[in-house]
Structure 1
Amino acid sequence: MGGDDLIPFLVMVFVQMGFAGMNITSKLAIQTGMDPIILVAYRQLFAFLSIAPFAFWMEWKEMPKMTMSIFFQIFLCSLTGATGNQLLYFVGLKYSTPTIGCALINLLPAFTFVLAVLFRQEFVRIKTRAGQAKVIGTIVGLGGAMLLSFYHGKTITGQSFIHWNYADRLEDSSSRDDKSNFLLGPFLLFLSSFSWAVWLIIQAKVSKKFPAPYTSSAYLCLLGGIECVAIALYFNHKLSAWSLRNPMRLSVSLYSGVVCSGMAFCIMSWTVQKKGPVYVSVFSPLLLIMVAISSWALLHEKLYVGTAVGSVLIVIGLYSVLCGKSKEMKLNDINMEETDEMKENDVKNDLELQ
C-alpha cells in the first residue's frame, strides 16, 4: 500500500473508531432520558462551531465561488447526511440496540455501490479483476457483518478486567422503562443507511464542483443544526429537555459533534474527493469489530465464534474491495497518461504538417 493509499486508509479507520465510541456512549446518553432528536441537534451545532474556524483560516482566501447550484447540493447533503441519516439512526437506536445498529450500517457499502453505478460514478466492469474484487469483497464483507451480528456460537473468551460501572447503573435505571421495538428500530436504521449512501453520492458531486471540504462541511453542519433544532422544537416543547447539566449528555454532545460530525465530515469529504464514495462506504464494517471489542472490554459482553469468524470475513472483504479499487485507479491513471501522450503526439503532428 503506497503513501497515496495509506493516508486515506488510516484516516477512515480513525473515523470508524470515533463512530464506535459514539455508538456506545450515545446509547447511554439516551438511557439517561435525553431526546435523540435533541442530541442530533446539539451534535450539528457543536460540529459547526468546531469546523467554522478551520474553514475560515484554511480556505477563505482560496475558496471556490459559491453558486446557487452548489448551495442547493450542500443543502441536500445536510438533509441526507446530517438530518436524515443521524435522526433516523439515533431514533432507531432508541428503539433498538447498538449491535443491530452496527449490523444495519453495513448495508451502506451495498447501497452506495448500487447508487454509484446508477449515477455513473462507479462502473462494475465485472469482466476485469478489479471489478470482480469489488463485487466479491462487498458480498464477503456484508456476509461477515451479518454473521457477526446474528450468529453467536460458542464463547471463545472470558470477561474483561476493564469494566464501566456507570453503564450498569444506567441500564438498571432504564430497564423498567424498556421501549425496544424490534420492528420500528431496525426499519429506521435501514433508512438511515440508505440516507447516508445518498449523501455520499451527492457529496461526490459537491467535492468536484466545490473542493473546499472544511467550508462545505461547515455549511452542512450549520444547515443540519437549523433543521434538527426546528424538528426538535416541533416534537418537544420543554426547555428542560435541552439541559446539558448531566455530564453524560454534555460529553456525548461535544464528542459526537466535534469528533463524529466536525472531524468526520471533513475527513470523509476529503476522502470522497480523493477516492470516491464507494471507498468511504466500505470502511463501515470495521465499526462492528470495534463495537464488539469495546462492548466486551467495557460492558462485559462476551465474544463468540460468530464474532471471530465474521470479523475475519469483514477484513477479507474490505481488503478485497480496497485492492480492486486500487487496481482500478491505477488503470485509470495509466489510461489518462496514454491519452495525454496521444494528445501531445497529435499536437506535434499537426505542428509538423503546418
Structure 2
Amino acid sequence: MADLTPSSAKRTCEMPERAKLHLAMLALQFGYAGFHVVSRAALNMGISKVVFPVYRNIIALLLLAPFAFFLEKKERPALTLSFTIQFFLLALCGITANQGFYLLGLENTSPTFASAIQNSVPAITFLMAAALRIEQVRIRRKDGIAKVVGTVACVCGAMVITLYKGPVIFRQASLNLNLTRHWQQQQVPLLGDAKEKSWTLGCIYLIGHCLSWSGWLVLQAPVLKKYPARLSVTSFTCFFGVLQFLAIAAFLERDPQAWSFHSGGEVFTILYAGFVASGIAFAVQIWCIDRGGPVFVAVYQPVQTLVVAIMASIALGEQFYLGGIIGAVLIIAGLYLVLWGKSEERKLASETAASRLPSAVSDHGNRAAPHKSSLVQPLLPSTSENAV
C-alpha cells in the first residue's frame, strides 16, 4: 500500500531537483544577458570604465564577505603571505584585466558579440591547461579528437568575429525604429552597435578578456586545493580587485565628478552589476555546480548569447553582421565538442576504474583509484563576480 503520509505527499508535489537546476541556469543566463545590456548602457551614459568596476566589486564584496566569514569559519585556513600574493594575482587576472578588457571591448562592439565571444572561454581554458600539462590530451581517442577539434573551432570563430565584420543581414524593424526615435527624443543613450568605434580593436580587447578569464580559471585550481574555502577566495579576490582598480583610477581618472551619480539609470546599472551579475549569480551558480557539475553549467553558456541577441534586437535595435554570426556558430559548435569530449573522457575513466577494481582488490587488497583531472574547475565559465 502506498505511503500517503503528509511528508510523502509533500515530496510528491515538490519539483524535481533536476528541473530546479535547469530553471536556475536559465534564469542565470537571463541575468547575465541583462548584464551585457546594462554594461553597455552604463558606458553610453558616460560612466567611467574605471569607476564602474570599482563600485561593482565593492557591492559584490559587501554582499559576499559576510557569508564567507560566517559560513566558512571552520574550513578557512589562516591567511599567510603566500596566500595573500596568490589572491592578489588572482584579482589581477580575474578581475582587473578581465573586467577592464571586457568594458573596453564592449565599448567598441555590441552586447551580442561580447556574449558570443565569451563562448570560447571553455576551449581557451582547456588549451591553457593542456599547455601547462594540467589537462591531458589523448589524440588517439575520440574524446581527445573532439577536444582538439572543438578548441580549433572556437579559435577560428573568435578570429572570424575579429577579422571579418561582413554585411548587415538583419536590420531594425519598424518597432525598433519607433523606439529609437522615442529614445532620441528623450535623450536616452542607445545601446545598439558601436558607432565610430574600432570593431577590430574591440574584438581584440574581448579576446584579452577571454584570455584573462581563462587564465584565472586555470590559476585558481591550485589555490582552491590549498585554500578550500570558495567564498573566502572570492571575497579576497574582490577586495584586491577593488584596490587595483582604485590604484588605476588614481592615474587615469582625475575628475572627481566621475565618482558621483548623475541619474537613476547610472545607479541602476551599478546596482545590477554588483547584486545580480556578481552576488546573486555567484550563489546560484555555486549551487548548480555543486548539484549538476561544471559541464552542466558550461553547456548553458551559449543560451546566454541567444538571450542577448533576442533582447538586443527587440528592445535595442541591434544589427546583426554576417561575420559575427558565422563566428558565433563556430564558437558554440566548438564549445559543445569540447564539452562532449570531456564527458566522454569521464565516462571512459569511470569504466576503466570500475574494470580495474576487482583485480586491484584481489591483488594484496590494493584498490585502484579512478583517474581524476587535476584541474579543479575544467571548462567552467563561472563565478560571475569575476566573469565579466
TM-score tier by shorter-chain length is 0.7 to 0.9
Distance 1:59-1:100 versus aligned 2 partners, 3 A rule: same
| Higher mean C-alpha deviation, range 24-33 or range 68-77 | 68-77
Name the residue aligned to 1:79: 92
| Higher mean C-alpha deviation, range 103-112 or range 200-209 | 103-112
Name the residue aligned to 1:33: 46
SS at match of 2:187: helix
Question: Counterpart of 2:278 in structure 1: which amino acid?
Answer: S
Q: Where does structure 2 lack aligned partners over 5 or more consecutive residues?
A: 1-15, 367-388
Whether contact under 8 Å (2:124, 2:211) holds in the other structure is yes
Name the residue aligned to 1:51: 64
Name the residue aligned to 1:235: 252
Structure 2 counterparts to residues 90-109 of structure 1, below 5 A: 90-109=103-122
Give, in whole Å, the separation in 2 of the partners of 1:338 and 1:258: 48
Name the residue aligned to 2:137: 124
Give 1:312 deviation, angstroms. Answer: 5.9
1:137 equivalent to 2:155? Answer no
Give 1:37 deviation, angstroms. Answer: 0.8
1:333 equivalent to 2:350? Answer yes
Question: Counterpart of 1:198 in structure 2: which amino acid?
Answer: G
Instruction: Give RMSD over aligned pairs.
Output: 4.1
SS at match of 2:135: coil
Whether contact under 8 Å (2:120, 2:331) holds in the other structure is no
Give, in whole Å, the separation in 2 of the partners of 1:274 and 1:251: 32
| Higher mean C-alpha deviation, range 184-193 or range 332-341 | 332-341
Question: Counterpart of 2:101 in structure 1: which amino acid?
Answer: L
Give 1:204 deviation, angstroms. Answer: 1.9
Give, in whole Å, the separation in 1 of the partners of 2:191 and 2:301: 31
Question: Counterpart of 2:307 in structure 1: which amino acid?
Answer: M
Distance 1:302-1:192 versus aligned 2 partners, 3 A rule: closer
Give 1:181 deviation, angstroms. Answer: 3.4
Q: Where does structure 1 lack aligned partners over 5 or more consecutive residues?
A: 350-354
Whether contact under 8 Å (1:109, 1:282) holds in the other structure is no
Name the residue aligned to 1:352: none
What does the per-residue CA deviation read over 1:298-349, in whole Å, with 9 as the maximum and x for residues that have no partner?
Answer: 1123568877777666554443332221121222233444566555433348
Choose between structure 1 and 2: higher helix proportion. 1
Structure 2 counterparts to residues 203-218 of structure 1, below 5 A: 203-218=220-235
1:252 equivalent to 2:264? Answer no
The counterpart of 1:346, out of the listed 347, 363, 366, is 363
- How many positions carry a matched residue from both structures? 346
Question: Counterpart of 1:212 in structure 2: which amino acid?
Answer: A
Give 1:280 deviation, angstroms. Answer: 6.9
Question: Counterpart of 2:95 in structure 1: which amino acid?
Answer: A
Give 1:179 deviation, angstroms. Answer: 6.0
The counterpart of 1:113, out of the listed 114, 119, 126, is 126
SS at match of 2:363: helix
What does the per-residue CA deviation read over 1:138-186, in whole Å, with 9 as the maximum and x for residues that have no partner?
Answer: 44456567479845575499566896855883336999x9662345433
% identical aligned pairs: 34
Whether contact under 8 Å (1:110, 1:138) holds in the other structure is yes
Whether contact under 8 Å (1:112, 1:278) holds in the other structure is no
Give 1:18 deviation, angstroms. Answer: 2.9
Whether contact under 8 Å (1:217, 1:265) holds in the other structure is no
Give, in whole Å, the separation in 2 of the partners of 1:114 and 1:28: 33
1:261 equivalent to 2:275? Answer no
Give 1:276 deviation, angstroms. Answer: 9.3
Under a length normalisation based on structure 1, what TM-score does the superposition of the two structures give? Answer: 0.78
